[in-house]
Amino acid sequence: DQQVKQNSPSLSVQEGRISILNCDYTNSMFDYFLWYKKYPAEGPTFLISISSIKDKNEDGRFTVFLNKSAKHLSLHIVPSQPGDSAVYFCALRRGGSEKLVFGKGTKLTVNP
Amino acid sequence: GAVVSQHPSWVICKSGTSVKIECRSLDFQATTMFWYRQFPKQSLMLMATSNEGSKATYEQGVEKDKFLINHASLTLSTLTVTSAHPEDSSFYICSASGLAGAGTDTQYFGPGTRLTVL
């Protein structure tokens, strides 16, 4: 049973527009919610995170929103740039544990 | 930033042979290393967690006798796939944590190793 779901396998956005990547989870025990970015033939790199006590965290063009009641988080990228084209994974973990539970990823393509 | 390397980046082997994959933290001491496996269009699945100098903790469903993990130093962990079979073909990624002062983003990932078993 998949605990973390990224229901959109791919997303295509025009340069300059907003990209919205979504992630749903089933277990309310998670405390930290992370987004990783992955280019082909490379390992995931950390992008941004949020803890369960917050509902929004912003870092430059990247904003993560957390809706605990809906067990849903999203990553907003604005404005989107062609270099943002990559696979984005959400990853969740419980407090006190280093184990990450990943979604399947969403492939973002930003068209020039 | 923290850098984690993996070697080899890809390997092709015959069925029944064993393959060793190395994971190194280049500029920090990794107290904990993680091994993941990713099948096409699937999520990264944690296989095992290893702490330096102690036995690895395997996730449910992962055969510890088939996937041997050694974490002999604070900068090196190895994963050996023993008696590999075609169904073991996958992308194996390690990550390392232990960077002092890091917050929730404490896992740093290697570039991965593509294993193909013929």
pLDDT, tens only, B58-114: 999 999 999 999 988 889 999 999 999 999 999 999 999 875 544 545 788 999 999
- Chain B environment of A103 (Cβ under 8 Å): 43
d(CA A110, CA A17): 9
CA-based nearest residue to B71, from B92, B87, B57:
B57
d(CA A100, CA B80): 22
| Chain mean position to CA B53 | 16
* Range 1-40 of B in CB contact (< 8 A) with A: 4, 6, 9, 32, 34, 36
Residue A96: band (very low, low, confident or very high) from pLDDT cuts 50, 70, 90 = confident
Whether A42 and B41 lie within 8 Å, measured CB to CB: no
d(CA B115, CA A81): 33
* Residues facing residue B58 across a β-bridge: B48
Whether B111 and A43 lie within 8 Å, measured CB to CB: yes
* Residues facing residue A87 across a β-bridge: A38, A107
Residue B31: band (very low, low, confident or very high) from pLDDT cuts 50, 70, 90 = confident
Average pLDDT over residues B2-26: 94
Q: List the single residue in A2, A89, A98 with the smallest CB-CB distance to B32.
A: A98
Average pLDDT over residues A52-72: 96
Mean pLDDT of chain B: 89
Q: Is A30 on the interface with B (CB under 8 A)?
A: no
Cβ atoms of B74 and B4 closer than 8 Å: no
CA-based nearest residue to B88, from B68, B118, B108:
B118
- Specify the pLDDT at position B112: 95
Q: How far is B114 from chain A (nearest CA, A)?
A: 9
